[in-house]
Amino acid sequence: MKRLATAAVAGLVALVGLVGAAPANAADGYGGATVIVKLVPSSRTVDEGDKFDFNYTAKTPTNHTVNCLTVKFKFNGQTNGSGTFTAPQVGSNTDRAISVTCYYEEDDVVTLGGGGGRVSASFATAIQSQSDSGIVHILNKGGNKDKDDSDDDDHNKNKDDDDDNGNLPNTGGERLAWLVIGLLLVAAGSTVVVSSRKRDSVA
């Protein structure tokens, strides 16, 4: 009877030890739960003031998709879970950092990685996180536009707006008419002087 009781107690202890060790063995067999997170941009170059979107992928090294419990995107001091932001106004073309963080349950990754079954619901599962970061190139539209406009203005200023083939501007009125009138007056005066001298010599 005592031997039977001792065997039963030993079997119960072994069973408890096996159940308690199962979660650790699953994680250890996988070699550590790892998730590879990558940013997926719609475009890495945007104009200031424009909205843009970033997505992400989260996979195990064996290329299994991981379901993130929470996702946080960070850009220009803002954080959200959608990955949609508005590019700030910048004085010149500027690079700004963006990042994404995936929060996941470690036992989900162990299961996907083939390291064993899911950890029993009676045990607390560890929340892990992995991140990725990148750069958004923001174009300064206003600065470039002003620069182009100023170049156009300078070009127009240097161009002869009067369209008179480079001649001096007509600031003195009708030059040809006054020249003809002046010549006529000189001719008339000369005629009067010559005529008066002839009369004087005849007299």
Residue pLDDT, tens place only, 176-189 = 778 888 899 999 98
Interacting residues of 195 by C-beta distance below 8 A, sequence separation 6+: none
Domain assignments of the chain as residue spans, ordered by start: 34-144
For 34-144, CATH number out of 2.40.40.20, 2.40.30.10, 2.60.40.10, 3.40.50.2000 equals 2.60.40.10
How far is Cα of residue 118 from the mean position of the Cα atoms in its chain? 41
Convert the pLDDT of each residue in 65-123 to its tens digit.
999 999 999 999 999 999 999 999 999 999 999 999 999 988 766 555 544 444 444 45
Q: Cβ of 129: how many Cβ atoms within 10 Å? A: 14
Reduced to 3 states (helix: H, G, I; strand: E, B; else coil), residue 59 is strand
Distance CA 64, CA 85 (A): 28
Paired strand residues for 52: 85
